[in-house]
Amino acid sequence: MEKYNHKKIEKKWQKRWEIDEPYKAEDFSEKEKSYLLIEFPYPSGDGLHVGHSRPYIGMDVIARKRRAEGKNVLYPIGWDAFGLPTENYALKTGIHPKEVTKKNTDTFRKQIKSLGISFDWSREINTTDPKYYKWTQWIFLQLIKKGLAYKASVAINWCLSCKIGLANEEVIGGRCERCGGETEKRQKEQWMLAIRKYAERLDKDLDDVDYIESIKIQQRNWIGKSNGAEIEFRIKNNKSRIKVFTTRPDTLFGSTYMILAPEHKLVQELKSQISNFGEIEKYIDDTKKKTEIERTAEGKEKTGVELKGVKAINPANKEEIPIYIADYVMVGYGTGAIMAVPAHDQRDFEFAKKFDLPIKMVVCPHYPAPTCPVLDEAYTNEGHLVVSGEFDGMENDEAGGKITKFVGGEMKTTYKLRDWVFSRQRYWGEPIPIIHCDKCGFVAVPEECLPVELPDIKDYKPTDSGESPLVKAEEWVNVKCPKCNRAGKRETDVMPNWAGSSWYYLRYTDSNNDKAFADEKNLKYWIPVDWYNGGMEHTTLHLLYSRFWHKFLYDIKVVPTHEPYQKRTSHGLILAEGGEKMSKSKGNVINPDEIVEIFGADALRMYEMFMGPFDQAIAWSTDNIVGVRRFLEKVWRLQEKVSDNKFDFNILLDGAIKKVGDDIEAMKFNTAVSSLMILANAYDAHKNFSKENYSILLILLAPFAPHVAEELWEKIGNKSSILKEKWPEYDISKTIVDKVQIAVQVNGKVRATVGILVDEDEESVKEKAISNDNVKKWTEDKEIKKVMYFKGKIVSIVTN
Ligand code: ANZ
Ligand code: ZN
């Protein structure tokens, strides 16, 4: 017998697959379609990392199994290649981002191919290809047409070291998500996308999709839907009113002061009436230096300044109450103003304690109560209303709507989700297809002129003014206005790196189409994506943005479904041997090329599936990959035991087929691999077994270790590829075995044992216990008073 030579085998089969293209998906096939998706990689200069390959391999196992089950599988790949790291690398080395991207994608492609992943390469896409981003720009134009893209001056988070504006989601703890550097707020004209208009649907439609629960929760928190009321307060001796959003209108009688966000425009409007405006201005200045997280952190010392000289009037009890500005009230949420109810809101409570403001309890847990308790923190539970005029005695959850009506307010739903800042003042991104004209304003580039190609410029260093380096490409910038033909200027901001990934799964259905982003028929056949697996870190950004774009495309009737992805799961990270995060700076990154060289792609694949539960982070271990390699060698040696005589070995087979198949579909790859190991060991314990038996083992192994499975398949005399083999069927009745023996006690003494099935239901277990002959001896002339079953352990019978 030849030795298991992974290098020779893997090269041989990869070459064969390159020619035969067995992984090509077929548009409109009669077979059942199955669209499986992984997050396409950002081709960084560091090359593929063993962590990247884990989700690709996992989904590959599923793809291969489903093909064997006769499904028409689409499992595509491409490159999400615009973005800062490439641009920064280009700045450092002087190599153009285009070339950097080409080189990096070539490396990634080669590495991925060396793992034998069954991607349909004929549909490969690249977000930086003008043929692709033409359609990213086209979608932007449709958003403009529907009024969902607009320009606004907004306070953006400015990263001081990247010199780039960041969306709120890209700032983590006040720092830049990319470089970890400091950020500050800057006022800037930006293109915005009105994702808020879709907030309700983005929240509600999560009911219709099969995402793991933690992803739904994260999305819902991010959208931050909140039901409450808007109520207006009058200002004494002034026509202006202060509108607040509150989730607790039932507590209105307890509002003893109000707070405006420091940026609230009323603060400026009331200036002439305010006697301490200098102090106010200073506080506003101080607030600018703080991040939102600093401002709203729980338990943080409360600060604020009273607007001296103005008072508001509580519309419920007509009391005059003071007005403050304080940084814990945010201008972008609700109405940017609150009615403070210190007795029932903890932040207001802390503020009231500090500024010695009245704390008036209006919801009380004991009613009727002689006096309300003195609070040492806000009371946030249920109760009956007190000191609330005609509403006294009412249960508080009933009172909210009534009090709102009483003061002429209205019920209202708000969302935390902000509109999406869509401009970046950088070079390596999709140009925003807009021309500025002094006369006509912002004019959309006509669709027939797309794509607006990113010009090749030499100097793409960020400018100090904060404008995009594209301003320096004068020839490109100066164009005629498409409307009036006078001198105009191109928009120089580019799109954020989330743009190209917001619709890429649609392009895979028809990636070479140059008349549309995809043909209607292809979309109708393939969409929605049946299963999308990706990182937990993309739950609130990419996943939400692409759901938004999809819903918009659905509304303009160019995609057939209202959700893009039917199912979403997540994988865990691979950590370094010591359990730390792998990173270049720590020098602990494992390069898959080396592993493939030494152990083979099949061993790497199998190990990554075996190392631990797929959805959990796990540390790499080179020792453990050795064990997996030995297993493959065992399967290799088993070829010698295949014999012609019809010895059928089927004790474990049905169970193994069921277990491996079910586990693959549940992404329990690690237990699927252990079943394969148990099966191979059982084979090994026999002197001989039939070719049929060995064939089943190989077919089950093929999704995990496709190269060696193909080779062995050929070795036992098959002419066609194992990829053409059908996934084996099993006999369900043979997969159930009496597995557990449990004891039966009668009046506290063990009198018998009975065999039961692992999942046997309680009634049937009790029945077995009572009817057991040894048990009967002890219960014969007695009355059975009680039978208890402690699942999987013991049955206890009590008699009189
Ligand atoms: C009075 C009140 C009484 C409140 C009470 C709460 C409890 P969520 O659930 O997050 O939507 N609020 C409203 N706008 C705000 C802003 N721009 N910045 C900071 N806080 C703001 O929270 C809604 C509650 O947060 C609102 O209800 C308001 O305080 C506060 F016993 O109004 B509440
Ligand atoms: Zn014009």
Residue 744's Cα: distance from chain center in Å?
50
CA–centroid distance, 226 to ligand 1, in Å, is: 10
Number of H helices, E strands in the chain: 25, 34
Tell whether 231 and 339 lie within a shared domain: yes
Residue minimizing CA distance to atom 10 of ligand 1: 226
Rg of the chain over Cα atoms, rounded to whole angstroms, equals: 33
Report the atom number in ligand 1 closest to the C-alpha of 378. Answer: 31
- Rounded to whole angstroms, the Cα distance separating 43 from 102 reads 9
Tell whether 168 and 301 lie within a shared domain: no
**Start-to-end C-alpha separation, the chain:** 71
Which amino acid, residue 238?
N
DSSP 418: P
Domain assignment present for residue 403? The answer is yes
CA–centroid distance, 482 to ligand 2, in Å, is: 7
Tell whether 262 and 365 lie within a shared domain: yes
Q: What is the largest CA-CA distance in the chain?
A: 109
Report the atom number in ligand 1 closest to the C-alpha of 226. Answer: 11
**Which residues does the chain have with pLDDT short of 70?**
167, 169, 369-370, 645-651, 736-739
Residue 334 gets the label, from left (phi > 0), alpha (psi -120 to 50) or beta, of left
Ligand nearest to the CA of 412: 1
- Rounded to whole angstroms, the Cα distance separating 35 from 40 reads 14
- Rounded to whole angstroms, the Cα distance separating 489 from 477 reads 5
Domain assignment present for residue 82? The answer is no
CA–centroid distance, 445 to ligand 2, in Å, is: 11
- Rounded to whole angstroms, the Cα distance separating 574 from 582 reads 8
Domain assignment present for residue 402? The answer is yes
Give the number of residues written for the chain.
Answer: 800
Q: Which residues of 519-545 are buried (b: 16+ CB within 10 A; e: fewer)?
A: eeebbebbbbbbbbbbbbebbbbbbbb
Instruction: Decide if 428 contacts 460 (C-beta within 8 A).
Output: yes
Report the atom number in ligand 1 closest to the C-alpha of 363. Answer: 31
Residue minimizing CA distance to atom 11 of ligand 1: 226
All residues at 6 or more sequence positions from 529 whose CB lies less than 8 Å from its CB, including other chains: 35, 36, 37, 505, 564, 565, 566
Among 223, 231, 248, 381, residue to substitute to test ligand 1 (most atoms within 8 Å of Cβ): 248
Sole residue written with tokens 């006999």: 731
Among 246, 264, 396, residue to substitute to test ligand 1 (most atoms within 8 Å of Cβ): 246
Strands ordered across the beta sheet of 794-799: 749-756, 740-746, 794-799, 784-790
Tell whether 255 and 181 lie within a shared domain: no
Give pLDDT tens digits for 484-533: 999 999 999 999 999 999 999 999 999 999 999 999 999 999 999 999 99
Report the atom number in ligand 1 closest to the C-alpha of 333. Answer: 17
Tell whether 183 and 325 lie within a shared domain: no
**Three-state helix/strand/coil letters over 462-517:** CCCCCCCHHHHCHHHHEEECCCCCCEEEECCCECCCCCHHHCHHHHHHHCCCCCCC
CA–centroid distance, 541 to ligand 1, in Å, is: 25
DSSP 208: G
All residues at 6 or more sequence positions from 203 whose CB lies less than 8 Å from its CB, including other chains: 219, 220, 223, 225, 415
Residue minimizing CA distance to atom 25 of ligand 1: 246
| SS3 label, residue 534 | strand
Pairing relation of β-strands 531-534 and 567-570? Answer: parallel
Give pLDDT tens digits for 117-130: 999 999 999 999 99
- Rounded to whole angstroms, the Cα distance separating 615 from 319 reads 57
* Tokens found for residue 717: 């005399």
Tell whether 240 and 375 lie within a shared domain: yes
- Report the pLDDT value the prediction gives residue 516, as an integer from 0 to 100: 97
CA–centroid distance, 458 to ligand 2, in Å, is: 30
Strands ordered across the beta sheet of 210-211: 72-74, 33-38, 531-534, 567-570, 210-211
Domain assignment present for residue 307? The answer is yes
Ligand nearest to the CA of 437: 2
- Rounded to whole angstroms, the Cα distance separating 778 from 772 reads 10
| SS3 label, residue 78 | strand
Domain assignment present for residue 30? The answer is no
- Report the pLDDT value the prediction gives residue 423, as an integer from 0 to 100: 92
- We report the CATH number of the domain holding residue 258 as 3.90.740.10
Tell whether 279 and 157 lie within a shared domain: no
Which of 381, 414, 447 is a domain's end point? 414
Which of 414, 438, 457 is a domain's end point? 414
Tell whether 360 and 264 lie within a shared domain: yes
Give which of 110, 31, 30 is closest to 77, Cα–Cα: 110
Ligand nearest to the CA of 259: 1
Please confirm whether the linkage preceding 451 is cis (ω < 30° from 0).
yes
Domain assignment present for residue 349? The answer is yes
Instruction: Decide if 262 contacts 283 (C-beta within 8 A).
Output: yes
Q: Which domain holds residue 157?
A: 149-190
- Rounded to whole angstroms, the Cα distance separating 637 from 554 reads 55
Ligand nearest to the CA of 434: 2
* H or E element at residue 64: helix 50-68
Instruction: Decide if 367 contacts 393 (C-beta within 8 A).
Output: yes
- Report the pLDDT value the prediction gives residue 756, as an integer from 0 to 100: 81
* H or E element at residue 695: helix 691-701
Domain assignment present for residue 730? The answer is no
Q: Where are the alpha helices (DSSP H) in 95-186?
A: 97-114, 130-145
Question: What pTM, to 2 d.p., does this model score?
Answer: 0.86
Tell whether 234 and 383 lie within a shared domain: yes
CA–centroid distance, 432 to ligand 2, in Å, is: 17
Whether the CA torsion 199, 202, 206, 211 is positive or negative: it is negative
- Rounded to whole angstroms, the Cα distance separating 800 from 786 reads 9
Please confirm whether the linkage preceding 97 is cis (ω < 30° from 0).
no
DSSP one-letter string for 310-340:
EEEE-TTT--EEEEEE-TTS-TTSTTSEEEE
CA–centroid distance, 391 to ligand 2, in Å, is: 61
Among 338, 341, 347, 385, residue to substitute to test ligand 1 (most atoms within 8 Å of Cβ): 338
Strand partners, 192: 150, 421
Which residues line the pocket of ligand 1, CB cutoff 6 A? 226, 245-248, 251, 261, 329-330, 333-334, 336, 338-339, 341, 344-345
CA–centroid distance, 220 to ligand 1, in Å, is: 18
CA–centroid distance, 334 to ligand 1, in Å, is: 8
Q: How far lies 274's CA from each of 311, 313, 325, 451, in Å?
A: 10, 17, 12, 54
Residue minimizing CA distance to atom 32 of ligand 1: 246
| SS3 label, residue 74 | strand
- Report the pLDDT value the prediction gives residue 737, as an integer from 0 to 100: 59
CA–centroid distance, 246 to ligand 1, in Å, is: 5
- Report the pLDDT value the prediction gives residue 366, as an integer from 0 to 100: 81
What is the number of structural domains in the chain?
3
**Three-state helix/strand/coil letters over 732-774:** HHHHCCCCEEEEEEECCEEEEEEEECCCCCHHHHHHHHHHCHH
Domain assignment present for residue 161? The answer is yes
Tell whether 298 and 399 lie within a shared domain: yes
Q: Which residues of 297-317 are buried (b: 16+ CB within 10 A; e: fewer)?
A: eeeeebbbbbbeebbbbbbbb
CA–centroid distance, 687 to ligand 1, in Å, is: 74
3-state DSSP: the chain helix, strand, coil percent, rounded to 5? 40, 20, 40
- We report the CATH number of the domain holding residue 775 as 3.10.20.590
Residue minimizing CA distance to atom 8 of ligand 1: 226
- Report the pLDDT value the prediction gives residue 392, as an integer from 0 to 100: 94
All residues at 6 or more sequence positions from 381 whose CB lies less than 8 Å from its CB, including other chains: 363, 365
Among 345, 396, 416, residue to substitute to test ligand 1 (most atoms within 8 Å of Cβ): 345
Tell whether 270 and 397 lie within a shared domain: yes
Tell whether 171 and 235 lie within a shared domain: no
Q: Where are the alpha helices (DSSP H) in 154-276?
A: 199-204, 213-223, 265-269
Which of 414, 436, 469 is a domain's end point? 414
Give which of 604, 534, 585 is closest to 564, Cα–Cα: 534
